[in-house]
Amino acid sequence: MDFLKRYRLPLKRKCRLEEWDANDSAGVKNREQAERQTAKNIAAMRALEYRLYAENRQALLIVLQGMDAAGKDGAIRHVMAALNPQSCKVTSFKQPSALELSHDFLWRIHRVAPATGEIGIFNRSHYEDVLVVRVHDLVPRGVWSRRYDQINRFEQHLAENGTRIIKCFLYIDKEEQKQRLLRRLEDPARHWKITEADARERERWDDYVAAYEEALSRCNTKAAPWFIVPANRKWYRNLVLSQIVRKTLTDMKPQLPKPVANLDQILIT
């Protein structure tokens, strides 16, 4: 199963989420099979990450977006945790600080974009500035509506300067979100994750769908493609995500650099 093809949002096509299936588990017999393949993908990712770091010429940026409770944190824990903390950096974007708000919206993003040799993972991203910001009118329409083109130019700029970008929308449906929020209410270990805002945001589900559809449609480029990852089942989400990252890293062909020294001349005593 070519997950990249299956879940890549086709270029120049309007994204309509109802055409996608959050429960999809194509080509996988069961959870055990998925978890075995995920483990293989993660092992391959580690080997490729090692070469990427040694090579020190290109960077990989993985943008994770999704509705509340879509599994962004879980995906990072399960798929990215095995990566090397020296070369893999996770940034979680929260409500902007006063300092961040006093700059353009991409300022806080660009500062933490991955350097050469690194893998950067964004848990939320600059897309919040056309999602939550749009849904809640945090800036006037005239301001957020210009951001789609600004985002495309920014991502193009990163890509032209050696950063490979993949963007994954973790897609859960409205019923699955309800179940996950209820679990947060019931499970003391998850209480910290829920606030009144989650219930209020859920009421705006349709507005978020509209905002996501526009962002995914307008900011889906060759330089920075969107993938729509079915995320109702966590094990399938992990499989698809690990496969996309593995294939992308493979495609980047990171090479171990040639030895800098003349090895014959080095005498270890």
Q: Please tell me the distance from the alpha carbon of residue 235 to that of residue 101, in angstroms, as a whole number.
A: 37
Of 19, 30, 85, 95, the residue at the interface with ligand AMP (CB under 6 A) is 95
Q: Which stretch binds ligand AMP (CB under 6 A): 88-96, 159-167, 228-236, 253-261?
A: 88-96
Contact predicate 65/168, CB 8 Å: yes
148 binds ligand AMP (CB under 6 A): no
Q: How far is the CB of 62 from ligand AMP (least distance, A)?
A: 16
Q: How many residues bind ligand AMP (CB under 6 A)?
A: 10
The CB-nearest residue to ligand AMP is: 128
Q: Please name the residue that has the structure tokens 């893999």.
A: 88
Q: Say how far apart CA 104 and CA 22 lie, in whole Å.
A: 34
Q: Does 98 bind ligand AMP (CB under 6 A)?
A: no
Does 63 bind ligand AMP (CB under 6 A)? Our answer is no
- 132 or 223: CB nearest ligand AMP: 132
Q: Which residues contact 269 (CB under 8 A, 6 or more apart)?
A: none
Among 6, 17, 35, 96, binds ligand AMP (CB under 6 A): 96
CB 27 within 8 A of CB 1: yes
Q: Which of 5, 12, 29, 94 lies at the binding interface for ligand AMP (CB under 6 A)? A: 94
CB of 135 vs ligand AMP, minimal distance in Å: 9
Q: What amino acid is encoded at 139 in this protein?
A: V
- 28 lines the binding site for ligand AMP (CB under 6 A): no
Shortest CB 193 distance to ligand AMP, Å: 7
Stretch that binds ligand AMP, among 31-39, 51-59, 93-101, 208-216 (CB under 6 A): 93-101
Residue 93 contacts ligand AMP per CB under 6 A: yes
**Mask: binding to ligand AMP, 100-139, rule CB under 6 A, as x and -?**
------------------------x---xx--xx----x-
Distances (CA, A) of 73 to 67, 78, 109, 165: 12, 9, 19, 19
Tokens read off for 176:
């699955």
Looking at residue 51, its amino acid is R
- Residues 152-181 binding ligand AMP (CB under 6 A) are none
Q: 69 and 237 in contact (C-beta within 8 Å)?
A: no
Phi and psi for 62 in degrees, rounded to 5? -115, 115
- Contacts with 199 (C-beta within 8 Å, 6 or more apart), sequence order: 181
Tokens for 238, please give them: 């992990």
- Binding stretches for ligand AMP (CB under 6 A): 93-96, 124, 128-129, 132-133, 138
